[in-house]
Amino acid sequence: MHTIYNIGIYLLQFACRLLSLKNEKIKLMVQGQKLTFSKLQSITKEDKIAWFHCASLGEFEQARNLIESFKQEKKEYKILVSFFSPSGYEIRKNYKMADYVVYLPFDTPKNVNLFVTMAHPSIVFFVKYEFWYNYIQALKDIPLFQVSLILRKNHYLTKSYSSWFRKQLRHFNTFFVQDNTTKEVLHSLGYDNAIICGDTRFDRVFAISKEEKSFPIIDNFCKGGEKVFIAGSSWPADERIIHDALYEKENIKIILAPHQIHKEHISDLQKMFPSNVLYSQANDENTKNKRVLIIDCIGILSYIYGKGDITYVGGGFGVGIHNVLEAAVFYKPVAFGPNNKKFKEAQDLLQQQSAKEINNKEDLASWVEHLLTDEEYYSTSCTLNGQYVENNAGATQKILKEINQYL
């Protein structure tokens, strides 16, 4: 099976090279991987390397607080961050808290041997779902940890056809898991080295909520007697519902931070919401009397949810909702679309009735109206969301305490 796996990886590598001729995203990955080994050449034999591997941007945000806390406490280590997806690397390639940021080469024996030899990590963290057979094998004598892991009984690792691959899990020193269900799944597979730490994203969003950031343009836009509705990481399906439900309400202003900020989509939003101003062009004068502020840049959304009164997190009508914790941490009511079943935090907030699932414009309009007319409901939603995040923070320190024995 290992041979078949290697053949599959070679075929995947070949297919990506072909697809890169037409697909810009895959092209970035293929070209980026070619630069990986040249970037690793500056690592010396004397360097102590802590390697964090994140598939994409979401996993990076999951690990970010751990990376920065590790860097702060273990100053003798240099930080290596690797990505597989361009959506992670291209956004975080200049991440200042890392000494090296690279693409992870495909999991072929040759690539793995060269990567591990050049990087010679002293400790390794794979984030959430990352399992690469040859990399794990090459790291068997190095402290290796899985961070923020979630496993369910239908995961491919639990299937009979994965028994050969599952044996590689013995090389992980500890699985830092998010919940008891994951611990039980690992136990059923014969692994009892799991520690329930929770989700490191709670620590990240909690830290963000305490940072002092100034956004005078947004503060100016939010002035006045209107309530402010903030939609983050919105997709076209979210935006149409927001328009139909709220745009005509004179007592509400809207801040839209779309997931896609290319010119065509921003132009579409400007047509959909005529009374708008772009964040990149906004000033004290042209924000006056505007109903909608469109955030046409990246990097500020997680800081500005607290500027609004009501929040909405996009993605629930497509690929899945984005990070609802970024809004909840600011003690704000939060809503999202129906594709939320695989997100534990969303399910928790729905269960405690401090969040709302939106299926259509009527759902959104009635929920917003309920919040605006029922002060107790609004206050309770805010409090429950903020406390939920605070009560679940602390995973980072649990992990750092546990790994000390390996350093």
The backbone torsions φ and ψ at residue 342, rounded to the nearest 5 degrees and listed phi first, read -90, 5
* Pair 229, 265 in one domain: yes
Q: Which of 164, 196, 228 is the last residue of a domain?
A: 196
The yes-or-no verdict on residue 80 having pLDDT over 90 is yes
Q: Is the dihedral of CA 18, 19, 24, 25 positive or negative?
A: negative
* Pair 363, 226 in one domain: yes
Q: Does residue 204 form part of some domain?
A: no
Q: Does residue 206 form part of some domain?
A: no
Q: What is the pLDDT of residue 323?
A: 93
Q: Which of 134, 163, 196 is the last residue of a domain?
A: 196
- Band the pLDDT of 225: cuts 50, 70, 90: confident
* Pair 242, 293 in one domain: yes
* Pair 181, 243 in one domain: no
Q: Does residue 201 form part of some domain?
A: no
Q: What is the pLDDT of residue 285?
A: 85
Q: Which two tokens stand for residue 136?
A: 């794990």
Q: Which of 141, 167, 196 is the last residue of a domain?
A: 196
Q: Does residue 143 form part of some domain?
A: yes
Question: Number of helices and strands (H, E) in the chain?
Answer: 18, 14
User: What percent of the chain lies above the pLDDT cut of 70?
Assistant: 100
- Residue 180, judged by CB atoms within 10 A of its CB (0-12, 13-18, 19+), counts as exposed
The number of domains in the chain is 2
Q: Does residue 75 form part of some domain?
A: yes
The yes-or-no verdict on residue 69 having pLDDT over 90 is yes
The yes-or-no verdict on residue 57 having pLDDT over 90 is no
Q: What is the pLDDT of residue 219?
A: 92
Question: Across the chain, what does the average pLDDT equal?
Answer: 93
Q: Which helix or strand (DSSP H or E) is residue 384 part of?
A: helix 375-392
* Pair 165, 40 in one domain: yes
* Pair 153, 292 in one domain: no
- Band the pLDDT of 394: cuts 50, 70, 90: very high
User: What percent of the chain lies above the pLDDT cut of 90?
Assistant: 82
β-pair type (144-149, 123-127): parallel
β-pair type (144-149, 48-54): unpaired
The yes-or-no verdict on residue 275 having pLDDT over 90 is yes
* Pair 180, 134 in one domain: yes
Q: What is the pLDDT of residue 58?
A: 84
Q: What is the pLDDT of residue 291?
A: 93
Which letter, b or e, does each residue of 137-167 get, where b requires 16 or more Cβ atoms within 10 Å of its Cβ?
Answer: ebbeebbbbbbbbbbeeeeebbeeeeeebbe
Q: What is the pLDDT of residue 319?
A: 86
Nearest to 343 by CA among 303, 312, 316: 316
Nearest to 174 by CA among 148, 204, 207: 148
* Pair 50, 164 in one domain: yes
Tens-place pLDDT, residues 298-315: 889 999 999 999 999 999
Tens-place pLDDT, residues 355-367: 999 999 999 999 9
Please, are residues 323 and 336 in contact by the beta-carbon 8 Å criterion?
A: no
Tens-place pLDDT, residues 25-37: 899 999 999 999 9
Q: What is the pLDDT of residue 341?
A: 92
Domain with residue 67: its CATH number is 3.40.50.11720
Tens-place pLDDT, residues 105-124: 999 999 999 999 999 999 99
| Residues with Cβ within 8 Å of residue 22, at least 6 apart in sequence | none
Q: What is the pLDDT of residue 155?
A: 86
- Residue 109, judged by CB atoms within 10 A of its CB (0-12, 13-18, 19+), counts as middle
Domain with residue 243: its CATH number is 3.40.50.2000
Q: Which two tokens stand for residue 313?
A: 């997190």
Domain enclosing residue 368, as ranges = 211-392
Rounded to an integer, the average pLDDT of 237-266 is: 95
* Pair 170, 315 in one domain: no
* Pair 263, 164 in one domain: no
Which letter, b or e, does each residue of 42-80 get, where b requires 16 or more Cβ atoms within 10 Å of its Cβ?
Answer: ebeeebebbbbbbbbbbbbbbbbbbbbbbbeebeebbbb
Question: Distance of CA 356 to CAs 14, 115, 330, 332, 387, Å?
Answer: 45, 46, 16, 12, 17
CA 232 – CA 307 distance, rounded (Å): 12
Rounded to an integer, the average pLDDT of 195-214 is: 90
Using the structure block, give the residue that is written with the tokens 């839209």. 256
Residue 14 has a CB neighbour count (10 Å cut-off) of 11
Rounded to an integer, the average pLDDT of 244-267 is: 94
CA 205 – CA 328 distance, rounded (Å): 9
| 114-118, 150-154, 237-241: range with lowest mean pLDDT | 150-154
* Pair 227, 162 in one domain: no
Q: Does residue 156 form part of some domain?
A: yes
* Pair 166, 216 in one domain: no
3-state secondary structure of 80: strand
Nearest to 238 by CA among 348, 319, 329, 307: 319
The yes-or-no verdict on residue 379 having pLDDT over 90 is yes
The yes-or-no verdict on residue 344 having pLDDT over 90 is no
| Angle, vertex CA 216, rays to CA 214 and CA 221, nearest 5 | 135
Q: Does residue 403 form part of some domain?
A: no
Q: Does residue 94 form part of some domain?
A: yes
Q: Which helix or strand (DSSP H or E) is residue 226 part of?
A: none
